[in-house]
Amino acid sequence: MTYCVAMALKDGLVFAADSRTNAGVDQIATYRKLHKFTVDGERVIILLSAGNLATTQSVISLLKMRLGSDQPNLFGVQSLYEAATVVGNTSREVVRRDSGQSQGKVDFGCSFIVGGQVHGEPPRLFLVYPEGNFIECTPDTPYFQIGETKYGKPILDRVIDYDLPLEQAAKCALISLDSTIRSNLSVGLPLDVLLYDRNSFCTARQFDITEDNVYFRALGEAWSVGLRQAFSELPEMDW
Amino acid sequence: MTYCVAMALKDGLVFAADSRTNAGVDQIATYRKLHKFTVDGERVIILLSAGNLATTQSVISLLKMRLGSDQPNLFGVQSLYEAATVVGNTSREVVRRDSGQSQGKVDFGCSFIVGGQVHGEPPRLFLVYPEGNFIECTPDTPYFQIGETKYGKPILDRVIDYDLPLEQAAKCALISLDSTIRSNLSVGLPLDVLLYDRNSFCTARQFDITEDNVYFRALGEAWSVGLRQAFSELPEMDW
């Protein structure tokens, strides 16, 4: 499984992803799910992926191989909308190719979050479905999740707001990931986190959070303590 | 959908269930999912149900019709283990009967939580799978969930402990239900909550929590405030 979350906020974008892939609990491996396609000063396009690893890897490979070619590609697109179209089409292409000969019930599908900024546009964020179509984030619901989404959703619903500073939103993403990691073995460290500041056209604020990360461990412990504290202060019912 | 949770703790048992049933978002109804089979002073058996409503209703009806008959029944069993067996067998019987003629892909399955106390035993808690087999709760993981379980699991994992007083555990169950209700439209009020005190053999502490319940509303609001407070006090990362 996988858990990725991304947010489109007033000040920019936040991306966070775990890196665990599994085909059964006895086949667990680490694969990064955050991929960057950037031209400094001109475009930043970030992909987060979830689903069939063969499909997502093929999609990423094809997207990279086609950069700068005559085919529609992420360095040629004039908008994030076009970027989502390219990702959706490439995903359809791979699923069609790979599922053609399949006799079994393998799910070849995958989902992508595609976000970033192309010069001339504000930052934008899209969710590309396994079918290749997609939706865009709006300030009313300023986040998308893919993969194992449910455990980490309640905290997002309570904290994430369009006006939240990126640093706070990234902290909330870490809490959401921490909750998911605690409840589902198939989601695990290391984590990739990227804060994209509106109009910066650079990806300097990227973080690789491993088992050794003192902050992440302290954050998880502080959150446990804070939750128990909040719980203990709730009003009592006359049972 | 449905969300039910039950806990087996040092002092007794806690049961909590929502009451929303849906077949698509345009077909929502209220059906109670907490069912009692009690003989005061001798046995208390509580069932929580999730899954196909036709199946769960038939199972409950058959269990009631057979009480006191020659067939194995919940007033005749000598242990909670036997009660779980009776529930599992009745569930298999209904699924076999109803799925026999089915052409389509309807899921006839359902899950039950069966808990309570039969004179001569301590309180016990079982989870009956759609296949009719079952597992028993132990102090290491002293709760079971059925239905839409994921949204409400993180708070249980952080708070529920075998030694927690029943009142605190019931409060935690309400928070778990509140989180699920906020994140999933198909789980809704009213809620059924029951606290069973070890060796009491009575179900006096049962509560029907409706939209008008001032305490539940205050609890949800206090939890939102407490969570945001806990979040705001987390250590800052140098992003």
Residue ranges covered by each domain of chain A? 3-230
At residue B15, the pLDDT reads 98
Q: Is B47 exposed, middle or buried (0-12, 13-18, 19+ CB in 10 A)?
A: buried
Please choose, from the candidates B202, B201, B172, B206, the residue with its C-alpha nearest in 3D space to the C-alpha of residue B191.
Answer: B206
Asked if A154 and B154 come within 8 Å (Cβ–Cβ), the reply is yes
Residue B104 confidence (pLDDT) above 80: no
Distances (CA, A) of A23 to A28, A94, A145, A168, B117: 7, 20, 21, 34, 41
Q: DSSP labels for A163-192?
A: TS-HHHHHHHHHHHHHHHHHH-TTS-S-EE
Distance (Å) from the C-alpha of residue B222 to the closest C-alpha of chain A? 6
Asked if B236 and A167 come within 8 Å (Cβ–Cβ), the reply is yes
Would you call A25 an interface residue with chain B, using a CB distance cutoff of 8 Å? no
Would you call A32 an interface residue with chain B, using a CB distance cutoff of 8 Å? no
Would you call B105 an interface residue with chain A, using a CB distance cutoff of 8 Å? no
Tell me if A112 sits within 8 A of A49, measured CB to CB. Answer: yes
Residue A24 confidence (pLDDT) above 80: no
- Chain A residues with CB under 8 Å of B231 CB are 155, 159, 171-172, 175, 223, 226
Question: Which residue in A159, A195, A226 is closest to B239 by CB distance?
Answer: A195
Would you call A214 an interface residue with chain B, using a CB distance cutoff of 8 Å? no
A-B contacts (CB, under 8 Å): 114
Structure token digits, residue A65: 């191989």
Task: Report the share of chain B in percent with pLDDT over 90.
Answer: 85
At residue A115, the pLDDT reads 98
What does the pLDDT average to over A127-131?
97
- Chain B residues with CB under 8 Å of A233 CB are 222, 226
Distance (Å) from the C-alpha of residue B141 to the closest C-alpha of chain A? 13
Tell me if B130 sits within 8 A of B94, measured CB to CB. Answer: no
- Chain B residues with CB under 8 Å of A208 CB are none
- DSSP H/E element including A7: strand A3-9
Mean pLDDT of chain B: 94
Structure token digits, residue B63: 């269990």
Tell me if B173 sits within 8 A of B155, measured CB to CB. Answer: no
Q: Is the ipTM of this complex over 0.95?
A: no
Would you call B230 an interface residue with chain A, using a CB distance cutoff of 8 Å? yes
Asked if B153 and A195 come within 8 Å (Cβ–Cβ), the reply is no
Confidence of residue B165 (pLDDT cuts 50, 70, 90): very high
Q: Which amino acid is at B76?
A: G
Residue B103 confidence (pLDDT) above 80: no
Confidence of residue A187 (pLDDT cuts 50, 70, 90): confident
Confidence of residue A104 (pLDDT cuts 50, 70, 90): confident
Tell me if B124 sits within 8 A of B97, measured CB to CB. Answer: no
Would you call B28 an interface residue with chain A, using a CB distance cutoff of 8 Å? no
- Closest-CA residue in chain A for B174? A237
Please provide residue B214's backbone torsions phi and psi, each rounded to the nearest 5 degrees.
-65, -40
Confidence of residue A27 (pLDDT cuts 50, 70, 90): confident
- Closest-CA residue in chain B for A177? B154
Q: What is the CA radius of gyration of chain A?
A: 18
Would you call A31 an interface residue with chain B, using a CB distance cutoff of 8 Å? no
Cα torsion B85, B47, B7, A182: sign: positive
Tell me how far apart the alpha carbons of residues B108 and B62 are, in angstroms, rounded to a whole number. Answer: 16
Residue A74 confidence (pLDDT) above 90: yes
Asked if B239 and A215 come within 8 Å (Cβ–Cβ), the reply is no
Would you call A27 an interface residue with chain B, using a CB distance cutoff of 8 Å? no
Whether cis (ω within 30° of 0) applies to the bond prior to A190 is yes
Out of A8-22, A155-169, B101-115, B167-181, least confident range? B101-115
How crowded is residue B73: how many other Cβ atoms within 10 Å of its Cβ?
Answer: 20
Angle between helix B214-232 and B166-183 (nearest 10): 80
Question: Which residue in B166, B170, B226 is closest to A233 by CB distance?
Answer: B226
Residue B42 confidence (pLDDT) above 90: yes
Would you call B150 an interface residue with chain A, using a CB distance cutoff of 8 Å? yes
Half-sphere exposure of A107 (CA within 13 A, CB side): 10
Tell me if B126 sits within 8 A of B46, measured CB to CB. Answer: no
Confidence of residue A106 (pLDDT cuts 50, 70, 90): confident
- Closest-CA residue in chain A for B166? A239
Residue A183 confidence (pLDDT) above 90: no
Residue B102 confidence (pLDDT) above 80: no
Asked if B183 and A153 come within 8 Å (Cβ–Cβ), the reply is yes
At residue B27, the pLDDT reads 82
Three-class HEC string of B125-159: EEEECCCCCEEECECCECEEEEECCCCCHHHHHHH
What's the pLDDT tens digit per position in B191-215? 999 999 999 999 999 999 999 999 9
Please choose, from the candidates A47, A60, A50, the residue with its C-alpha nearest in 3D space to the C-alpha of residue A22.
Answer: A50
Confidence of residue B184 (pLDDT cuts 50, 70, 90): confident
What are the E-state strand segments in chain B? 3-9, 12-17, 20-22, 28-30, 34-39, 43-51, 110-118, 124-128, 134-136, 143-147, 191-197, 206-209
CA dihedral A117, A121, A122, A127 (to 10 degrees): -60
**CATH code matching the domain that covers A3-230, chosen among 3.40.50.2000, 1.10.3720.10, 3.60.20.10, 3.65.10.10:** 3.60.20.10
Would you call B179 an interface residue with chain A, using a CB distance cutoff of 8 Å? yes
Q: Which amino acid is at A52?
A: N
